[in-house]
Structure 1
Amino acid sequence: MRLSIDWRSLILYRKSLYLLLPPPPALLFSCHNWQEELYSQKDRPATGGDVSAPAAEKMAREALAAAADAQSALKKKTAAARSWILFDSSGEGTILDADKYAIMHRVQIHARDLRILDPLLSYPSTILGRERAIVLNLEHIKAIITADEVLLRDPTEENVIPIVEELRRRLRSDNVINQAHGEGRENINGQHDLDGVEEDESPFEFRALEVALEAICSYLDARTTELETAAYPALDELTSKISSRNLDRVRKLKSAMTRLTARVQKVRDELEQLLDDDDDMADLYLTRKLAGSSSPVSGSGVPNWLPGSPTIGSKISRASRASAATIHGNENDVEELEMLLEAYFMQIDGTLNKLATLREYIDDTEDYINIQLDNHRNQLIQLELFLSSGTVCLSLYALVAGIFGMNIPYSWNDNHGYVFKWVVGISGLVSGFLFIFIIAYARHKGLVGS
């Protein structure tokens, strides 16, 4: 069977598989035609030099299977990139499958801000205040916070699941407390069972931001504790026994510490940058800005186009108070947010101090190991000095033997056999005294230890 194969199309097709891109329709059509041609010609006899039908059929099946796998992988990545969970002010979560244009239209942010939250791209930790939203990128926490809802990306990720649960729990509890206090104000007696519970007057965006900051600070602190638990015993073991295994173990721990320090440092720098700029902190007051630009309200403080709801009434009440603060000239009052950020800044700074202490301990261990290695090196140098001195003395002794071993006629030892003993004895004593003198001189000068 003679099979015509478009190798150029096949090469382009395989390149599209490596890039995890959907292959062009023309290439898929070519592969389908190739498979149909194989099935139609599989009964024809094969001639020399042509591709055998079973081999070509196998290649076609593998190509089609690879195309299906690539398309399924691309669909999974696309689905993961479009996965969001929406929390409203009552703590109810809703899974959203929306593209970036729908998200941009919903929260009114630019594409460059949304690109920061792309899980396929690497961006440092960032907290950005926009006109109607807060863009939050803290390690695995990628969220968009507005005045009345939170959009959290990749809610099924392992590290994001605890944040989802904490957001749901925190927002629900705050909503229940606010509803209870709202009903309490309408009761003429004013006696309730929630006297010991205070209503959270913080804006919605600050409560959501607090959950995110608490989660990232706790996460980094837990990673630091795990690193400390593994690093200190490894360093102590290395000081007691220097081996290749212990050195490689400490090297890996030091690399992990360097990476973790960079992550913690970036979060700390972002919080410090916010604390140093009051304008940036003022941009995070979404409820205040929303109240300042909202439409006129009725005499009861609630817009007459909203239904009578305790939750909405409580939110509008807080917005009215924020609007009143703005009118009285407190639009630059960022004390509430400053206190919130300072609390977590101190926590992340404590985590960074732990890593700095661990780095100092590693540096001290390295210095101690270098001192040990220098000590061993000095001992080897001393041994080399002893051996060299002994070699010099033995060389002098061998010199005497070499001189008397020459084939030179002499007669003074013909009748006196004791002369040999004297020569050997005196040569040995001179060599021994010379070795002792060299060692004593080296110790006197401090070249060797005592």
Structure 2
Amino acid sequence: MAIVVSDLQAALKKKTVVSRNWIMLDCTGEGTILDVDKYAIMHRVQIHARDLRILDPLLSYPSTILGRERAIVLNLEHIKAIITAEEVLLRDPMDDNVIPIVEELRRRLPPANAFHRAQGDGKEHSSGQNDVEAGEEDESPFEFRALEVALEAICSFLDARTTELETAAYPALDELTSKISSRNLDRVRKLKSAMTGLTARVQKVRDELEQLLDDDDDMADLYLSRKLAGASSPVSGYAVPNWFPASPTIGSKISRASRASAATIQGNENDVEELEMLLEAYFMQIDGTLNKLTTLREYIDDTEDYINIQLDNHRNQLIQLELFLNSGTVCISIYSLVAAIFGMNIPYTWNDNHGYIFKWVVGITGITCAFLFILIMSYARHKGLVGS
């Protein structure tokens, strides 16, 4: 008993302990494990405590995508991340559901022209620089690549859960229609409960994407590289923030962004076409997942209607059986009444010298009761009380 109590206390303690492990992935895909508290994270990415509280695993917050001045806060199911213009902070990197996301980020975060830039050291400087700048113009900003990985992961995760639910639900529903039993009903009840919870999760992600797509200002807030370019541009009058790590890669990106910041400041800050196309693609995917769940819900509702019809039919059959039994009971009661009258120990003279009177009484009473039963059934069939 003491061992069980100690194990329970250990499990509760483990559940209440919040993991402080984060993994930081930079623009080259290199990862670094950080064991820091929330204040260090707040100072590093410069967000408020209320934004970081959204990523607390002990608090139940719905799926959220928040755009802040220097970071994007993501809370998508098990994906709890903070994206800046140069790095991604991902919580609980050792979680089974997070490990594939870390691997995908390492693969896709490095820019598309990094390989060409690494091999171009022995070539002419002018041609290499032109190739790099051309590739830089074609590739998406760092924060969008990280956001795309997160959206792709959560959409694939929810779609996989939906597929698993469909695989288990449709055979269970078909089995229930063929055989109504307590076991099948309980199985379908659990599947319906799981479907309701999954639908709510998918709906929240869909609503979050739809809310972003409906508001250009919210989408503009997610352009961290654009805001960084505006802050580092000589036109803007601001210096480069000192919280960025010094590296040639970042310096070159800031330099190129500075050259393009004049156009940004002159009116392109509201151009959100690139992000809008990205969000629309995953909005359609999550909407397709929601349509699958909606179809499954309709199938469950149709099955419930079919089960109710079957139960009503059985109930009607029981009512018909009860009508037959009650009608037969009335007729037999009349027959018993006649038999009881003649069975009384009362002297009467009309039975004298009539040896066959018993047979006549029994026969006439039986025929009368049978005729009465047929009459009752005919009336019930005529009124539609019993099936044809």
- The normalised TM-score by structure 1 is 0.77
CA distance in 1, matches of 2:184, 2:193: 14
Pair member with larger Rg: 1
CA distance in 2, matches of 1:319, 1:338: 21
In the other structure, the counterpart of 2:87 is 149
In the other structure, the counterpart of 1:327 is 265
Whether 1:120 and 2:54 are equivalent positions in the alignment is no
In the other structure, the counterpart of 1:445 is 383
In the other structure, the counterpart of 2:23 is 85
CA distance in 2, matches of 1:379, 1:76: 54
User: Number of aligned pairs?
Assistant: 376
CA distance in 1, matches of 2:189, 2:168: 12
Aligned-partner SS, 2:270: coil
Cα 1:322–1:423 change in 2 (3 A) is farther
Aligned-partner SS, 2:96: coil
CA contact (8 A) 2:226 2:264 kept: yes
Where do 5+ consecutive residues of structure 2 fail to align? none
CA distance in 1, matches of 2:317, 2:14: 66
CA distance in 1, matches of 2:74, 2:13: 26
In the other structure, the counterpart of 2:215 is 277
CA contact (8 A) 2:16 2:58 kept: no
CA distance in 2, matches of 1:212, 1:139: 10
In the other structure, the counterpart of 2:284 is 346
CA contact (8 A) 1:86 1:149 kept: yes
What is the alpha-carbon root mean square deviation over aligned residues?
Answer: 3.1
Cα offsets for 1:47-100 (capped at 9, x unmatched): xxxxxxxxxxxx9xx9xx97xx86x9869965x521000000000000001111
Q: 1:211 aligns with which of 146, 149, 168?
A: 149
CA distance in 2, matches of 1:116, 1:414: 104
CA distance in 2, matches of 1:331, 1:244: 61
CA distance in 1, matches of 2:116, 2:137: 6
CA contact (8 A) 1:178 1:314 kept: no
Q: Could you tell me which amino acid in structure 2 is paired with residue 241 of structure 1?
A: K
* Cα drift, residue 407 of structure 1: 2.7
CA contact (8 A) 2:24 2:90 kept: yes
CA distance in 2, matches of 1:205, 1:112: 21
Q: 1:238 aligns with which of 171, 176, 183?
A: 176
In the other structure, the counterpart of 2:117 is 179
Cα offsets for 1:117-137 (capped at 9, x unmatched): 111111110011111001110
* Cα drift, residue 443 of structure 1: 1.1
In the other structure, the counterpart of 2:324 is 386
Aligned-partner SS, 2:112: helix
Where do 5+ consecutive residues of structure 1 fail to align? 1-58
In the other structure, the counterpart of 1:254 is 192
In the other structure, the counterpart of 1:370 is 308
* Cα drift, residue 333 of structure 1: 1.0
Equivalent runs, 1:282-297 vs 2, <5 Å? 282-294=220-232, 296=234
- The normalised TM-score by structure 2 is 0.89
CA distance in 1, matches of 2:192, 2:12: 36
Q: 1:396 aligns with which of 334, 343, 357?
A: 334
Whether 1:102 and 2:40 are equivalent positions in the alignment is yes
* Cα drift, residue 399 of structure 1: 1.1
* Cα drift, residue 179 of structure 1: 2.8
Q: Could you tell me which amino acid in structure 2 is paired with residue 201 of structure 1?
A: E
CA distance in 2, matches of 1:436, 1:352: 58
Cα 1:250–1:168 change in 2 (3 A) is same
Which structure has more RCO (C-alpha within 8 Å, separation ≥ 6)? 2
* Cα drift, residue 294 of structure 1: 1.2
CA contact (8 A) 1:167 1:211 kept: yes
Identity of aligned residues (%): 82
